[in-house]
Amino acid sequence: MESIKNKIDQLRKKILKYEYFYHKLDQPIVSDAEYDYLLSQLYSLELKNKQFITSDSPTQRIGSNLIDKFKKSVHFFPMLSLDNAFNLKGYLEFETRIKKLVSNSVVNYCCELKIDGIAVSLIYERGILTRASTRGDGYVGENITKNVYTIKSIPLILKGSKIPDRLEVRGEVFMLKSDFKSLNQTNKSNKEKFFSNPRNAAAGSLRQIDSKVTAARNLMFFAHGYGFFKGMEFIKTHYDRLMKLLEWGIPVNKNIFITSSYLEIFNFYKKFEKKRFFIDFDIDGIVIKVNSIELQKKIGFNAKHPRWAIAFKFSSKEIITRLNKVKFQVGRTGIITPVAYFDPIYISGVKIRKASLYNKNEIEKFQLCINDFVIVRRCGDVIPKIIRIIKNKSDNNSKKIIFPLFCPICGSKLLEDEKEKIVRCNSGLLCTAQKEKSLHHFFSKNALFINGLGPKIISKLIKKNLVNSPIDFFYLKKDDLKKIDKIGDKKSTKIISTIDQSRNTSLRNFIYALGIFSVGERIAEKLSERYESMDALIHSTLIELENIDGIGKIIAFNIFNYFSISKNRVLVIKLLKEIRFSVNRTKQKKYKKKFFIGKKIVLTGKFVSFSRSEIKNILIEFGAKILNKVSKSTDLLIYGENFGSKFFQARQLKIHMINEEELKIFLI
């Protein structure tokens, strides 16, 4: 119970902090999506634990903290907020609730864009704008009439006929994205305030003591509702009422449509989810409202929301947060990767607290400092990436991030590839970080999998000096494993038995396990198709490797380089004594056959093991074309003893050439 109360308290504290940044400082530190997510968590916790609900909980209030510089303005009707749906399921739940409340009759819905701006209320007395206020806490807002007078798209006097004596229009004040960009540019050159998004710029512009500043900011307005509509009761739908506002000169966004089909609503949502990036103002979802005023009245409100409307929100993909630290990680191959850690954020409901900064270049490009604000996006909706930095000049603790000169793990001097901006620790297995990661990789799922041998155990085995290289695992005894805490008799027996099972492997998995730089699973597969034994791979030539389909010059060089280091060859040979391969000859045959398909081949010289016609027939059977003359379009020259001029022509034209011995590898 105590821990639930703690959880509730923590959530409340967080939410209040975010509200403070948002409302008081116009400087949100989390996205709406994260705020909504936390609030919904608090809601459900409080719902299950009603004894912990307090009157000051954020769930018991409608809105914000007011700022002190404007006069208070009491709303005639509370300005509520909207309930949210984040997916189709959530939306359909809303429809089901409505259906129940109206006894399953067909309901028409009015769909609109959800403008990401500042909610305001405008009071017109006999057609003249007399008061404008912000929403504030939903009951009391700020009187911003003087500033609203300067917004060109809000009429001071309504036009047309049959205007009610008193009319309250509700809607959003917002700033165009293009205006926001140029405002920030101007502010940057004048060393003035930077706004993190158009909504904040609009809020900042609206809450100016000096209305000349507001006037210069080109704010816009769209109406989406009304409070008083006295004398207009005969207009019986929300849509018709909005059209009436339009007639009187009040701007209403034209993307509205009426439907009773949830599929059409979902299509509208999908359409604007894509289109929103090409519209010059921010929208953060769509709003769906029961169109009939009579039904709206029947359905009613709860304490915070009308029950007849819902916001179907787009998932937010970019969020601003504060950078706390940068750690320098040493990868399996010694590459140093800076990783940024920030205040946790939620994107599409997923908690994120770090993002890779890739390389030294990225830090230099961003001129990154601790306590800067960073804008994070989930690329392809998966991998978090910092896309922009907002310098935090006001923070005295701001510290420039400096790329280390020495390995943070083993302390050896780091080497930098100037061209690729890659910084590397070259200590290999002498560096604990690389050792741990290499060993973990060697025994990972698609390598020589040892079930139950995670990074923690590996790290402990290294610390106890029981293993230093993959080969050491095959010599481990039960008693060695039992020296590690939390490993008893049962677990050590199990690990020893899985180590034994890992001895049965495939060539592909073994090649992958070696962790040769740039040889992932796909390349390992190709190598295992091309070579029938590890021995053949160890002795492969650079040309041979380069000619494997899908292996370029760089990867070929990395493979060749790996096997030219004697320490690596010794390790592989020792390992080969401990393991057994399940051979997959059909795969190799398939590869060999594939290699010749469509290739234009020329033969020259005398062959010892085959007659010329034998070779010709086999190659033709494998799909090759045998030609007599060398030309630019020749793919391969096969040369035997006493070769003739074709050999020199092919060499000049840089055509791939193999001799009889190499040909045998393909044919046998």
Cβ distance to ligand IVH smaller for residue 115 or 534? 115
Task: Provide the token pair at 470.
Answer: 């993959």
* Other C-beta atoms lying within 10 Å of the C-beta of residue 85: 21
- Among residues 24, 50, 114, 385, the one annotated as catalytic is 114
Taking CA atoms, 14 is separated from 34, 236, 325, in Å, by 11, 43, 21
User: Is 172 a known ligand-binding residue?
Assistant: yes
Query: Does residue 32 have a known ligand-binding role?
Result: yes
Cα dihedral 585→586→588→591 (10° resolution): 180
Tokens for 372, please give them: 């800067």
313 assigned ligand-binding residue: yes
Q: Annotate each residue in 105-134 with x if it binds ligand IVH (CB under 6 A) or - if it does not, as one string.
A: -------x-xx---x---------------
Q: Which is nearer to ligand IVH, 199 or 360 (CB)?
A: 199
When the beta carbons of 311 and 495 are compared against ligand IVH, the nearer one is 311
* 165 appears as a binding residue in the annotation: no
> Is 40 an interacting residue with respect to ligand IVH (CB under 6 A)?
no
CB of 313 to ligand IVH, least distance (A): 9
Q: Which C-beta is closer to ligand IVH: that of 311 or that of 655?
A: 311
Tell me: is residue 36 an annotated ligand-binding position. yes
Q: Is 250 in the site for ligand IVH (CB under 6 A)?
A: no
Angstrom distance (rounded) from CA 576 to CA 349: 47
Residue 246 contacts ligand IVH per CB under 6 A: no
Query: Got the DSSP string for 283-311?
Result: EEEEEEEESBHHHHHHH-B-SSSBTTEEE
Smallest distance, ligand IVH to C-beta of residue 274, A:
19
Contacts of 377 (CB under 8 A, 6+ apart): 317, 318, 347, 384, 385, 387
Active site residue 114: yes
Q: How many residues belong to the site for ligand IVH (CB under 6 A)?
A: 14
Q: Is residue 470 near ligand IVH by the rule CB under 6 A?
A: no
Of residues 301 and 449, the one with the C-beta less far from ligand IVH: 301
431 is in an annotated binding site: yes
Closest CB to ligand IVH among residues 34, 112: 112
Residue 466 CA to chain centroid, in angstroms? Answer: 40
Cα separation, 141 vs 132, whole angstroms: 9
Our finding on whether 511 is near ligand IVH (CB under 6 A) is no
Q: Which residues, including other chains, have CB under 8 Å from residue 496's CB and lie 6 or more apart?
A: 476, 477, 478, 481
Q: Of residues 206-225, which lie at the interface with ligand IVH (CB under 6 A)?
A: 224-225
Cβ 138 to ligand IVH shortest distance, Å: 9
Q: Which of 477, 347, 370, 361 is nearest to 86 (CA)?
A: 347
User: How far, in Å, CA of 641 to CA of 242, rounded?
Assistant: 91
Helix (H, G, I), strand (E, B) or coil at 36: helix
Q: What is the DSSP string of 223-257?
A: EEEEEEETT-TT--BHHHHHHHHHHTT----S--E
191 token code pair: 């060393």
81 in a known ligand binding site: yes
* CA–CA distances in Å: residue 312 to residues 98, 108, 116, 235: 15, 17, 13, 26
| Residue 407 labeled ligand binder | yes
Binding mask 65-104 for ligand IVH (x = CB under 6 A): ---------------xxx----------------------
Residues numbered 164 to 203 that lie near ligand IVH (CB under 6 A) are 172
- Contact present, 624 and 599 (Cβ < 8 Å): yes
Site string for ligand IVH, 279-308 (x = CB under 6 A): --------x------------------x--
Residues engaged in binding ligand IVH (CB under 6 A): 80-82, 112, 114-115, 119, 172, 224-225, 287, 306, 309, 311
Catalytic residues: 114
Please enumerate, by residue number, every residue annotated as part of a binding site for NAD(+): 32-36, 81-82, 112, 135, 172, 289, 313
Please enumerate, by residue number, every residue annotated as part of a binding site for Zn(2+): 407, 410, 431
